[in-house]
A = this chain, B = another copy of it.
Amino acid sequence: VLAVPGLSHANKEVEALTKDPKNFATWGLDYAGTRYSTLDQINTSNVKNMQVAWTFSTGMLRGHEGGPLVVGDVVFIHTPYPHRVYALDQGTQSVIWEYTYSGEKDTDQAQVISVMCCDVVNRGLAYGDGKILLAQGDATLVALDAKTGKVVWKVKNGEPKVGMTSTNAPLVVKDKVITGIAGGEFGVRGFLAAYNLKDGSLAWKKYSMGPDADVGLNPEKTMTWTDGKLAPVGKDSSTKTWKGDQWKLGGGTTWGWFAYDPQLNMVYYGSGNPGTWNPTQRPGDNKWSMSLWGRDADTGEAKWVYQMTPHDEWDYDGINEVVLVDQKVKGQDRKLLVHFDRNGFGYTLDRTNGELLVAEKYDKAVNWATHVDMKSGRPQVADKYSTDKNGADVNTKGVCPAALGSKDQQPVAFSPKTGLFYIPGNHVCMDYEPFEVEYTAGQPYVGATLSMYPAGVDAKTGEKNGSHNLGVFTAWDATTGKIVWSKDEPFSVWAGAVATAGDLVFYGTLEGYVKAVDAKTGEELYKFKTPSGIIGNVNTWSYKGKQYVGVLSGLGGWAGIGMAAGLEGGSEGLGAVGAYRSLGNFTKLGGTFTVFSLPNK
């Protein structure tokens, strides 16, 4: 762990760390979230010899999301709620310190668990200013001393009694740490918050919906894509798209990942689904749920916002990660933001101003919309799959993708060598039946019954092929919006990918395999069965001159909720239990950190 630098430059330290491929110092490897490592010791010709170097059980069952953070010689791993964090010595593979969270005195663990929508997952740690940051399940944010594991400060970021929880991976930016909130299924009004790294005091907090001031919107200056150009959002752009006070239960939570551009000094992320999954109950566009955001890192003010799925009717929660890359679009160098939404469209925007450049289906199974109209920026919804048009208590069948999207929380990787994005994908469709629901604080505010099943079509063409795969792993050109190659996987790929200069892409599968594929062709070059299903991110780093690949294995998350929470009914677990039931034939619960390397020779 490096020396503590001046606070206002914590991000300089993080930036420096992320530039040395020895480390994996933030969830996305770098602030841009590329998950691209310049390490090439393990490459397409020798990856077949890769083997397990060491393993470490976390002592916890249920879903292990996120990945190991590596800062200097120390590996930091974390567990689901109620959390543990271990600082591990790579030389001796032993515990330098551990942090065991037993919850706050006034908080009932069982109640917290009951309001975590999709297992008790956590997407991982952040490092900055000599501290390890963890957004805890009960919506407290804690800063640990990276050297000792002692609590430096802890703040309450939300109230679990009303369904607020935390599962996001925080991001250290300058003298602040950025975090979000979960609870979109409990009528929580989402926000992004920045706390001062030094003492945990609140620096700013901006909601996804509500009055302009709450949301950090400047009616004249905050831009959005409208009618083929960027235009100011105007006054009350959020509240006027909701019936009455409904924005107060508006959802738009922020439970995923955040990215940062140090040059532009902007923070980027997506906001989640609007409150209640029953669209007939909440007329209007429900702004700014389901939106991509560019905010000033110092003030939180929105520079631009773009709504991907106005008036969501399918739970296409917009929180998936955004990746900041500089590529040529139509011959022009652009500063891009690339995002693969749950709704099945891959978006490429200009991150300086929010200009919409590309919006194409990255899985051709997608049928809820025919396309995104590039002028209005709005998806053209297919009436047949409109759960609002079909109405409450009508089961709309065959909607693709399912609520868990063509991709969910599992982050993509980008390789500057190929110029491609690597998308761990779901290939799942659903039936969706909305019903009337009344809000009660701390109770589910869902209002829809779902069931899910394999898409049964070719992901590259959309043609029916009677396939049973629930997953795909896809290489994508974000400058043109085209699939380059796509590989079927029996189950959704719920694990984050990493790309390397060894021309490899690594990912994990729900049955528990770590796989390495050729970045150019998708050819599978290696697989190994880890103890449990993988929903964590595969990361890579080096130690004493050797490249390592590591991942938390531990089934759970929404796809693994049946086993994680012991649910049996096909439509339980918000509709996911049925589709993934056969996972039990392949793997069981259990958190294990598994580290790979080439053999010593």
Contact with B along A551-564 (1 / 0, CB 8 A): 00110000000010
Besides A55-B55, A57-B588, A590-B590, 15 other A-B contacts (C-beta < 8 A): A51-B599, A55-B529, A56-B529, A56-B587, A57-B589, A59-B61, A59-B532, A59-B588, A59-B589, A59-B590, A60-B590, A93-B529, A531-B531, A531-B592, A590-B591
Q: Which residues of B contact A84 (CB under 8 A)?
A: 588
Chain B min CB distance to A153 (Å): 26
A586 touches B95 (CB 8 A): yes
Per-residue interface assignment for chain A, residues 582 to 601, with 1 indicating a CB less than 8 Å from any chain B CB and 0 otherwise: 00111111111110000100
A530 to chain B: which residues have CB within 8 Å?
A: 55
- Please indicate the chain B residues that have their CB under 8 angstroms from the CB of A380 in the complex: none
A590, B52: Cβ atoms closer than 8 Å:
no
Q: A508 to chain B: closest CB distance in Å? A: 13
A327 to B6, CA, bound (A): 74
Assembly CA distance A585 to B149 (angstroms): 14
Check if A418 is an interface residue, CB within 8 A of chain B.
no
Give per-residue flags for A525-541: 1 if the beta carbon is below 8 A from chain B beta carbons, else 0: 00011111000000000
> Which residues from B are CB-within-8-Å of A98?
584
Alpha-carbon distance A97/B584, docked complex (angstroms): 10
Residues of B within 8 A of A54 (CB): 528-529
- For A599, the chain B residues whose CB sits under 8 A away are 49, 51, 599
- Cβ of B94 and Cβ of A58 under 8 Å apart? no
Bound CA–CA A588/B57 (angstroms): 6
Query: What are 17 contact pairs spanning A and B, CB under 8 A?
Result: A51-B51, A52-B55, A55-B55, A55-B531, A55-B592, A57-B531, A57-B588, A58-B590, A59-B532, A59-B588, A93-B529, A94-B511, A94-B586, A590-B590, A590-B591, A590-B592, A599-B599
Our pick among B52, B94, B587, B593 for the contact of A57 (Cβ within 8 Å) is B587
Contacts of A554 in B (CB 8 A): 57
Complex Cα distance A98/B529, Å? Answer: 19
Chain B's nearest CB lies how many Å from the CB of A525? 14
Smallest CB gap from A563: residue in B: B59
Q: Are B584 and A57 in contact (CB under 8 A)?
A: no
The CA of A563 and the CA of B59, in the complex, are separated in Å by: 10
**Are the CB atoms of B584 and A56 closer together than 8 Å?**
no
| B residues less than 8 Å from A55 (CB atoms) | 52, 55, 512, 529-531, 592, 594
The 8 Å CB contact of A94, one of B61, B553, B585, is: B585
Residue of B nearest to A84 (CB): B588
Interface size on A, residues (CB 8 A): 39
A555's nearest neighbour on chain B, judged by CB, is B57
> Which residues of A58-75 are within 8 A (CB) of B?
58-61
What's the nearest-Cβ distance from chain B to residue A594, in Å? 8
List, in ascending order, chain B residues with CB within 8 A of A59's CB: 61, 532, 563, 588-590
Interfacial residues of chain A within 94-109, with CB under 8 A of chain B in the complex: 94-95, 98
CB-defined contacts of A529 to chain B, threshold 8 Å: 54-56, 93
Q: Which residues of B contact A61 (CB under 8 A)?
A: 59, 61
Asked if residues B57 and A553 are in contact (CB atoms below 8 Å), the reply is yes
CB-CB under 8 A from A93, the residues of chain B are 529
Binary B-proximity of A210-230 (CB < 8 A = 1, otherwise 0): 000000000000000000000
Least distance between A88 CB and chain B CB atoms (Å): 10
| Alpha-carbon distance between A119 and B54 when the two chains are bound, in angstroms | 26
A98 to B589, CA, bound (A): 14
Whole-angstrom distance from the CB of A85 to the nearest CB of chain B? Answer: 12
Cβ-closest 10 pairs across A and B: A57-B590, A59-B588, A57-B531, A52-B52, A57-B532, A51-B51, A55-B531, A59-B589, A531-B592, A54-B529
Tell me the bound Cα distance from A584 to B95 in angstroms: 8
Q: Across the interface, which residues of B come within 8 angstroms of A588, CB to CB?
A: 56-59, 84, 86
**Chain B residues closer than 8 Å to A56, beta-carbon distance:** 529, 531, 587-588
- In the bound complex, residues from chain B placing their C-beta under 8 Å from that of A49 are 599
**A95 B585 Cβ-Cβ under 8 A:** yes
CB of A55 to closest CB in B, whole Å = 4
Cα distance, A592 to B593, chains bound together (Å): 12
Residue of B nearest to A589 (CB): B59
Provide the bound-state CA to CA distance between A259 and B61, in Å: 36
What residues on B are CB-neighbors of A594 within 8 Å? 55
Minimum C-beta distance from A511 to chain B (A) = 8
Measured between alpha carbons, how far is A4 from B554 in the docked complex, in Å?
38
State the Cβ distance, A489 to closest chain B Cβ, in Å.
15
| Residue on B nearest A97 in the bound complex, by CB | B585
A94 — which chain B residues lie within 8 A by C-beta? Answer: 511, 585-586
A480 to chain B: closest CB distance in Å? 39
Nearest residue, chain B, Cβ from A586: B94
Complex interface residues of chain A between 17 and 67 (CB less than 8 A to chain B): 49, 51-52, 54-61
A86, closest chain B residue (CB): B588
In Å, the complex CA distance between A593 and B55 comes to 12
Q: How far is the CB of A556 from chain B (nearest CB, A)?
A: 11
Task: Collect the chain B residues with CB atoms within 8 Å of residue A591's CB.
Answer: 590
**Alpha-carbon gap, A52 to B530, bound state (A):** 10
Give CA–CA (A585, B92) in the complex, Å.
Answer: 11
Measured CA separation A95–B86 after assembly (Å):
31
Interface centre among A84, A98, A553, A588 (most CB of B within 10 A): A588
A535 CB to closest chain B CB (Å) equals 13
A93 to B57, CA, bound (A): 20
- When each residue 511-531 of chain A gets 1 if its CB lies under 8 Å from chain B and 0 otherwise, what string results? 110000000000000001111
